[in-house]
């Protein structure tokens, strides 16, 4: 029977994927649904920013030694509170928390691990630029239940994610997610009057080659020669290879990534020598690079640290940073050729 009016809701879509996977128990569906509830609450609060006394800094710094905004704290708390009771998680890891987050009693523990960045791009909050929530979900590998013993389970390479995605709080609120293995990348737009995410971007495929490069070029002097040569290459004029590329950089990873996912191109946050404590650049492997790397791979793009796939990096710590080159496959492969020194211009 043809659908009347509404289209496909996110819940319907997740349940359909569950039916198509004979091994699915429904645990995962519950988990994603609760994540969506958290995102709706964050979205509502983001839309109110400026109207109530919730924007602006708390005055504190997070584990990354960055200023914490009130909305970061709010988004972190909401996500933890919504997800801790569902019974499907054994622990969580957040960009805002130094250590893994335990599931407190009386809530039951499950077999999944949620790693997330509750509000990415937070320095853009009070200037009305898009921000987002990024998440990756892993299955626990050991039989451990004690939080002190679960770090190894949380530190799996990104290739082990069973789902990943993001929410963008922008001109509209959008959720993009994938469960990998050829199931595709799908985008859903929140219809505020219905309070529902409806399928708006089915089976997203990113162009094989793009025309956009996205990087904080203010860091040019902090980069090595290879990185500079790469960016110079994108800016040089050459009709045959479609150059110069167009420069687009918002400073919110989710927003920059989402634009390039749909339009094609490359986002990069290279290693630099700006801060000796962050030689691998600013971005975090577990809560930023890995989830987006899973999404882009499923959309037929590619994510690299300049030397190899992000998804194959064996993580050593929860807040590990990594250089990131992500987007259209051909553009990211080209970046790898420059960073490895195989191509010079
Ligand atoms: P904030 O959350 O501190 O705004 O950082 C955002 C971010 O992690 C990522 O979303 C951006 O792509 C990147 O940092 C921007 O960093 P620069 O300001 O150094 O370009």
Å from CA of 151 to ligand 1 middle: 26
pLDDT at 61 (0 to 100): 67
Cα separation, 167 vs 78, whole angstroms? 14
Cβ atoms within 10 Å of 335's Cβ, excluding its own: 28
In ligand 1, which atom is closest to the CA atom of 66? 3
Å from CA of 229 to ligand 1 middle: 23
pLDDT at 344 (0 to 100): 86
pLDDT at 142 (0 to 100): 96
In ligand 1, which atom is closest to the CA atom of 132? 10
- Mapped onto helix, strand or coil, the DSSP state of residue 71 is helix
Residue-by-residue pLDDT tens, the chain, 345 positions: 555 567 899 999 998 888 887 777 788 889 999 999 999 999 999 988 766 666 666 666 666 666 656 899 999 999 999 999 999 999 999 999 999 999 999 999 999 999 999 999 988 888 889 999 999 999 999 999 999 999 999 999 999 999 999 999 999 999 999 999 999 999 999 999 999 999 999 999 999 999 999 999 999 999 999 999 999 999 999 999 999 999 999 999 999 999 999 999 999 999 999 999 999 999 999 999 999 999 999 999 999 999 999 999 999 999 999 999 999 999 999 999 999 988 888
pLDDT at 69 (0 to 100): 64
66 lines ligand 1 (CB under 6 A): yes
96 lines ligand 1 (CB under 6 A): no
pLDDT at 67 (0 to 100): 61
282 lines ligand 1 (CB under 6 A): yes
Cis amide leading into 106 (omega within 30): yes
CA-closest residue to ligand 1 atom 5? 121
Å from CA of 206 to ligand 1 middle: 23
Within 8 A by CB and 6+ apart from 98, the residues are 63, 319
292 lines ligand 1 (CB under 6 A): no
In ligand 1, which atom is closest to the CA atom of 267? 12
261 lines ligand 1 (CB under 6 A): no
Å from CA of 47 to ligand 1 middle: 20
Q: 321: buried, middle or exposed (CB in 10 Å: 19+, 13-18, 0-12)?
A: buried
- Mapped onto helix, strand or coil, the DSSP state of residue 291 is helix
Cα separation, 199 vs 310, whole angstroms? 28
Cα separation, 34 vs 107, whole angstroms? 15
In ligand 1, which atom is closest to the CA atom of 283? 8
pLDDT at 343 (0 to 100): 86
64 lines ligand 1 (CB under 6 A): no
Å from CA of 325 to ligand 1 middle: 15
In ligand 1, which atom is closest to the CA atom of 120? 2
pLDDT at 58 (0 to 100): 66
92 lines ligand 1 (CB under 6 A): no
12 lines ligand 1 (CB under 6 A): no
Å from CA of 343 to ligand 1 middle: 28
pLDDT at 165 (0 to 100): 98
Asked if residues 242 and 260 have their Cβ atoms less than 8 Å apart, the reply is no
């Amino acid at each position: 029977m043809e659908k009347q009016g509404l289209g496909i809701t996110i819940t319907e879509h997740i349940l359909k994927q569950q039916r198509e996977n004979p091994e699915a128990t429904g645990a995962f569906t519950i988990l994603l649904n609760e994540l969506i509830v958290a995102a709706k609450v964050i979205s509502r609060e983001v839309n109110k920013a400026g109207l109530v006394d919730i924007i602006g800094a708390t005055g504190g710094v997070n584990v990354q030694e960055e200023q914490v905004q009130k909305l970061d704290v709010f988004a972190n708390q909401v996500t933890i509170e919504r997800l801790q009771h569902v019974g499907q998680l054994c622990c969580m890891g957040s960009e805002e928390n130094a250590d893994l987050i335990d599931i407190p009693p009386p809530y039951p523990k499950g077999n999944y691990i949620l790693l997330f960045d509750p509000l990415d791009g937070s320095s853009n909050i009070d200037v009305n630029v898009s921000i987002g929530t990024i998440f990756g979900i892993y299955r626990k590998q050991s039989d451990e239940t004690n939080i002190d013993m679960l770090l190894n389970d949380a530190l799996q390479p990104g290739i082990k994610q069973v789902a990943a995605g993001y929410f963008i709080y922008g001109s509209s609120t959008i959720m993009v997610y994938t469960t990998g293995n050829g199931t595709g990348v799908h985008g859903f737009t929140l219809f505020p009057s219905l309070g529902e995410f409806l399928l708006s971007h089915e089976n997203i495929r990113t162009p094989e080659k793009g025309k956009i490069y996205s990087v904080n070029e203010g860091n040019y002097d902090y980069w090595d020669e290879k990185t500079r040569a790469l960016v110079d290459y994108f800016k040089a004029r050459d009709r045959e290879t479609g150059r110069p590329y167009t420069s687009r950089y918002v400073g919110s990873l989710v927003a920059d990534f989402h634009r390039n996912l749909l339009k094609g191109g490359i986002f990069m946050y290279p290693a630099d020598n700006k801060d000796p404590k962050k030689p691998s650049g600013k971005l975090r492997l577990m809560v930023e690079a890995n989830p987006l790397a899973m999404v882009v791979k499923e959309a037929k793009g590619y994510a690299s640290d300049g030397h190899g796939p992000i998804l194959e990096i064996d993580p050593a710590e929860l807040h590990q940073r990594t250089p990131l080159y992500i987007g259209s496959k051909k553009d990211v492969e080209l970046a790898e050729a420059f960073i490895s020194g195989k191509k010079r211009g």
